[in-house]
C-alpha cells in the first residue's frame, strides 16, 4: 500500500475520532448547563471551547487527508461516493467554524458536528480505494463542479442545523400538532441514515453476503444476452427479478424486485433503502421508549435560553452563502461539463433533475423570505426541508435510481 495513502487514511480516522469527541462535548455543553450546582454560562463556555478546539484539530487532520489523497490520486478526492461524502463532511465542518467565528454560538455545534459525523460515517460505508478515473471524470471540471457542489451543500447543511434548532426551540411541545409530527419525521429521516450506517458496518464485518445470478435483457427482447451477478452485504429482503441464489445469506428474500427496475444493482439498492427505513424507525422507537417523550420535546429545554431570532439569522446567512456556491457548482459548471463530456447541457438524468429540484427549492426559499417576509418558523421549515431534499439526492438517488451519475454510488 502506498505510504502516503496510509497517512491519508490515518488522518481521516483521526479526524473522525476528534469529531466524535467534539460532538460529545458539544452535547454536554448544551445539556449539562441545566445540571444543578453549575453555572450554566461557565459550563457551556468551558465545554464548548474544548469542543471547538477539537473540531479545529479534526478539521486540520481532514485537510491533511484531502491533500495527501489528492497527491496520491492525481485529482481532487471527489471522484466517488466515499471521497465526495468525506469532502462534504469537510465542508460542513468548515461552514460551522466560519459561522462560529461570526456569531460565537457554541450550541450550534451540538447539531452541526453530529451531522458532519454522520456524513463521514456514511462515507466509510463505500470502498476507500483510490481507483483510476473513468473517462467521464477525466477533466479539470471534476475539481470545479464537484468541489463547489459539495461546498455549497456543506454550507446549506449548517442552515439545516440552525433551522432545526429554531423549530425545536419555538414549536410548542406540550401538545400534539402537525409541527411536532413533522419535526419527529425529520428526526426519524436522519436516524434512517444512521441506521443504514450501523447495519452496513455490522454486516460488512460479519461477511454474511447473499449472492444472486439473474439474466440481462435488451429492451424489447425476451432472450437473455448475459448473466449478471450481484452480492448483498445486508440480508436480502428483496431479490433481483428472475434471480437464483448462488450463495445463501442469513435470510431468504421475501419478494423479487419489479421487472421495470433496470440496472445490475437496482434490486440491491432497493434492499438497502428498505433496511435503512426499517432501522431508522427502530432507532426512533427505541429513543421514544428511553426518553418517554418526543425526541424534540426532550431536546427543547436545553435550547430555552437561546434567542430564536439569532438562530433564524444564522440559518438564513448559511443559505445565502451556500445557495450561490451550489448554483455555480451543481448547475452552471455542471452543465458546461455535461456539454463537453456528453454533447448536451441537459439530459434529464436523475441526478441532474434532483440538483435542479434542490436549486428551485432554495430559490423559492430566498424569494419568499426576501419578498414575502417569510422569516422565523416558515423560513426554518424551508431550510430543513431543503436539506432533506439534498439527503434524498445523496442517498436515495445514488442508491436506488440508475443514471449517468451511477458511478458515484460504486
Find the mean pLDDT for residues 65-89.
86
282 and 300, same domain (yes or no): no
For the chain, give the mean pLDDT.
Answer: 84
Query: Could you say which of 239, 261, 293 is where a domain stops?
Result: 293
Residue 345 has pLDDT above 70, yes or no: yes
Q: What are the pLDDT digits (tens) for 209-251?
A: 888 888 877 666 666 667 888 888 888 898 888 788 888 888 8
- The reported pLDDT for the residue numbered 373 is 86
Find the mean pLDDT for residues 304-314.
88
50 and 124, same domain (yes or no): yes
304 and 277, same domain (yes or no): no
Residue 336 has pLDDT above 70, yes or no: yes
Cell of 299: 431536546
Confidence bin at 323 (pLDDT 50/70/90): very high
Cell of 278: 426499517
Confidence bin at 409 (pLDDT 50/70/90): very low
88 and 158, same domain (yes or no): yes
126 and 14, same domain (yes or no): yes
141 and 207, same domain (yes or no): no
In SS3 terms, the chain reads as CCHHHHHHHHHHHHHHHHHHHHHHHHHHHHHHHHCCCCCHHHHHHHHHHHHHHHHHHHHHHHHHHHHHHHHHHCCCCCCCHHHHHHHHHHHHHHHHHHHHHHHCCHHHHHHHHHHHHHHHHHHHCCCCCCCCCCHHHCCCHHHHHHHHHHHHHHHHHHHHHHHHHHHHHHCCCCCCCHHHHHHHHHHHHHHHHHHHHHHHHHHHHHCCCEEEEEEEECCCCCCEEEEEEEEECCCCCEECCCCEEEECCCCCCCEECCCCCCCCCHHHHHHHHHHHHHHHHHHHHHHHHHHCCCHHHHHHHHHCCCCHHHHHHHHHHHHHHHHHHHHHHHHHHHHHHHHHHHCCCCCCCHHHHHHHHHHHHHHHHHHHHHHHCCCCHHHHHHHHHHHHHHHHHHHHHHHHCCCCCHHHHC
Q: How far is CA 293 from CA 52, 234, 252, 299, 328, in A?
A: 30, 31, 36, 10, 43
Pairing of strands 244-247, 210-217: antiparallel
Cell of 361: 427549492
Residue 190 has pLDDT above 70, yes or no: yes
- The reported pLDDT for the residue numbered 350 is 75
243 and 210, same domain (yes or no): yes
213 and 126, same domain (yes or no): no
Do residues 71 and 134 lie in contact, with contact meaning Cβ atoms separated by under 8 Å? no
Residue 124 has pLDDT above 80, yes or no: yes
Q: What are the pLDDT digits (tens) for 127-178?
A: 788 777 766 667 777 778 888 888 999 899 999 999 999 999 998 888 888 8
Confidence bin at 85 (pLDDT 50/70/90): confident
84 and 167, same domain (yes or no): yes
Query: Could you say which of 237, 258, 293 is where a domain stops?
Result: 293
Residue 325 has pLDDT above 90, yes or no: yes
Residue 208 has pLDDT above 60, yes or no: yes
85 and 166, same domain (yes or no): yes
52 and 32, same domain (yes or no): yes
Residue 408 has pLDDT above 50, yes or no: no
Do residues 107 and 80 lie in contact, with contact meaning Cβ atoms separated by under 8 Å? no
- The reported pLDDT for the residue numbered 83 is 87
Residue 301 has pLDDT above 80, yes or no: yes
Domain that holds residue 303: 3-173+294-409
Say which residue, 163 or 305, is predicted with more confidence.
163
- The reported pLDDT for the residue numbered 410 is 41
Residue 407 has pLDDT above 70, yes or no: no
Domains contained in the chain, number:
2
Q: What are the pLDDT digits (tens) for 252-273?
A: 888 888 877 666 777 887 888 8
- The reported pLDDT for the residue numbered 227 is 81
- The reported pLDDT for the residue numbered 257 is 82
Residue 91 has pLDDT above 70, yes or no: yes
Residue 207 has pLDDT above 90, yes or no: no
Find the mean pLDDT for residues 113-133.
83
Q: What are the pLDDT digits (tens) for 356-398?
A: 999 999 999 999 999 988 888 999 999 999 998 888 887 776 6
Query: Could you say which of 293, 319, 340 is where a domain stops?
Result: 293
- The reported pLDDT for the residue numbered 16 is 93
Find the mean pLDDT for residues 42-53.
82
Say which residue, 176 or 12, is predicted with more confidence.
12
114 and 218, same domain (yes or no): no
Amino acid at each position: 500500500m502506498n505510504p502516503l495513502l496510509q497517512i491519508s487514511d490515518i488522518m481521516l480516522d483521526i479526524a473522525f475520532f476528534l469529531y466524535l469527541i467534539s460532538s460529545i462535548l458539544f452535547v454536554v455543553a448544551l445539556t449539562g448547563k441545566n445540571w444543578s450546582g453549575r453555572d450554566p454560562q461557565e459550563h457551556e463556555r468551558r465545554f464548548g471551547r474544548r469542543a471547538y478546539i477539537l473540531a479545529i484539530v479534526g478539521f486540520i487532520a481532514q485537510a491533511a487527508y484531502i491533500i495527501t489523497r489528492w497527491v496520491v490520486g492525481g485529482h481532487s478526492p471527489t471522484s466517488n461516493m466515499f471521497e465526495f461524502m468525506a469532502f462534504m463532511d469537510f465542508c460542513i465542518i468548515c461552514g460551522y467554524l466560519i459561522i462560529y467565528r461570526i456569531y460565537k454560538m457554541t450550541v450550534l455545534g451540538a447539531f452541526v458536528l453530529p451531522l458532519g459525523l454522520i456524513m463521514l460515517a456514511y462515507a466509510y460505508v463505500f470502498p476507500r480505494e483510490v481507483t483510476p478515473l473513468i473517462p467521464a471524470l477525466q477533466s479539470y471540471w471534476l475539481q470545479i463542479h464537484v468541489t463547489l457542489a459539495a461546498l455549497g451543500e456543506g454550507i446549506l447543511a449548517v442552515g439545516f442545523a440552525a433551522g432545526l434548532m429554531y423549530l425545536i426551540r419555538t414549536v410548542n411541545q406540550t401538545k400534539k400538532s402537525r409541527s411536532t409530527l413533522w419535526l419527529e419525521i425529520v428526526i426519524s429521516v436522519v436516524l434512517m441514515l444512521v441506521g443504514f450506517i450501523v447495519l452496513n458496518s455490522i454486516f460488512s464485518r460479519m461477511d454474511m453476503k447473499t449472492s444472486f445470478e439473474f439474466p440481462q435483457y435488451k429492451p424489447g427482447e425476451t432472450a437473455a444476452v448475459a448473466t449478471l451477478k450481484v452480492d448483498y452485504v445486508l440480508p436480502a429482503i428483496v431479490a433481483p427479478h428472475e434471480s437464483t441464489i448462488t450463495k445463501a445469506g442469513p435470510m431468504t428474500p421475501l419478494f423479487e424486485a419489479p421487472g421495470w427496475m433496470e440496472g445490475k444493482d437496482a434490486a440491491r439498492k432497493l434492499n438497502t433503502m428498505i433496511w435503512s427505513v426499517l432501522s431508522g424507525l427502530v432507532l426512533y422507537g427505541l429513543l421514544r421508549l428511553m426518553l418517554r417523550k418526543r425526541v424534540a420535546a426532550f431536546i427543547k429545554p436545553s435550547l430555552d435560553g437561546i434567542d430564536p431570532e439569532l438562530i433564524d439569522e444564522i440559518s438564513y446567512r448559511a443559505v445565502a452563502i451556500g445557495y450561490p456556491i451550489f448554483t455555480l457548482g451543481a448547475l452552471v459548471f455542471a452543465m458546461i461539463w455535461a456539454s463537453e463530456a456528453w454533447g448536451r447541457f441537459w439530459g434529464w438524468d436523475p441526478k441532474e433533475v434532483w440538483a435542479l429540484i434542490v436549486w428551485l427549492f432554495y430559490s423559492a426559499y430566498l424569494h419568499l423570505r426576501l419578498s414575502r417576509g417569510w422569516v422565523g418558523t416558515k423560513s426554518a421549515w424551508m431550510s430543513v426541508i431543503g436539506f432533506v431534499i439534498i439527503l434524498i439526492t445523496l442517498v436515495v438517488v445514488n442508491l436506488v435510481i440508475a443514471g449517468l451519475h451511477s458511478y458515484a454510488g460504486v
